[in-house]
Amino acid sequence: MHALKYIQDQQIPIPQTLELIGFDENEVFDFIKPQLSFVKQPMLQLGQVATELLVDIITQNKKEQLIFIPAELVRRGSTNN
């Protein structure tokens, strides 16, 4: 949010001159002008996978794993579509 305020204070046009993307969906993004594009993570899935991995590590003495969970880019007014 601080970056957006600075950009607006400097009167840099969004998205014409600078595109801006946030991370994780936030209700505040709906009230920002222009509406902020963001990377949306599947939070429920992240929590479920993390819990399963932790239980496996504790109960079965398994090693850490690298797991890829895709995210989604939600384009709104702060980026050129």
Domains in the chain, number:
1
In a domain, 79, yes or no: no
Residue 1 has pLDDT above 80, yes or no: no
Question: Does residue 45 fall inside a structural domain?
Answer: yes
| Domain ranges, residue 23 | 2-74
Is there a domain that residue 58 lies in?
yes
24 located within any domain: yes
Residue 81 covered by a domain: no
Question: Contact 48/63 with Cβ under 8 angstroms?
Answer: no
pLDDT digits (tens, 9 = 90+) for 6-52: 998 999 999 999 999 988 888 887 788 888 899 999 999 999 999 99
Residue 80 lies in a domain: no
Domain assignment present for 29: yes
